[in-house]
Structure 1
């Protein structure tokens, strides 16, 4: 019985992909922390309300320069999403503060956000990545 070279090379390629993806996988029980810092403006309180499909984190008020944070264990075999609403004075905006498809490689253990009136900015350890409000 002979096995074609194409079939054999396909099996080898699949094994290599599985090996590489296994080596790159994170610890499934590793927590991620999201920290949100208010840079809206001096004397202005930022109200936030974050939730995922699994739970509501409630409403919190962050004074200028203050922080709010939460921890969770992402679903590394699926999809994890935390969406937040942000309001101050007469402004109301939304942002996905953690999206596993976007943030998996950007923030390994801590996602640090600076929320400004123009939009939120994340520090990925090297530089600031800013987004527009939804």
Structure 2
């Protein structure tokens, strides 16, 4: 079982998170400041599980692969959204790595 977390650490903004895979649309969720959106799933046996997410806040957008079983993206289960961009973490207490900037 894999659990993915997307945490809103924006300074003062509500975050809209919409994630989906080929088989599962998780729909858009509103994530308040310091709150977390998470979901769990079983990766498939073919190593092709891919969850993509779109983030929106005040006219800015950012898209990323939250979980890509066939690449290094499968190692990041914690995603943190700041004013400066999206950071990935390998564990809840691990260091953060910049993975994307707002468009």
Q: Bigger radius of gyration, 1 or 2? A: 1
After TM superposition, the runs of 4+ consecutive aligned structure 1 residues lying more than 6 A away are none
Paired position in structure 1 for 2:90: 124
CA RMSD of aligned residues (A): 1.7
| Per-residue deviation, residues 76-124 of structure 1 (Å, max 9, x unmatched) | 43211111111011212211111111134x25xxx11111233211221
Higher relative contact order (CA 8 A, sep 6+): 2
Structure with greater helix share of residues? 1
How many aligned positions are there?
99
Whether contact under 8 Å (2:62, 2:100) holds in the other structure is: no
Deviation at 1:48, TM superposition (A): 0.8
- Alpha-carbon distance in structure 1 between the residues aligned to 2:37 and 2:2: 14
Paired position in structure 1 for 2:58: 89
Structure 2: 5+ residue runs without aligned partners?
none
TM-score, scaled to structure 1? 0.67
Task: Say which of 31, 44, 47 aligns to 1:75.
Answer: 44
Q: Does 1:114 align with 2:84?
A: no
Mapping 1:14-53, distance limit 5 Å? 31-42=1-12, 44-53=13-22
Structure 1: 5+ residue runs without aligned partners?
1-30
TM-score, scaled to structure 2? 0.85
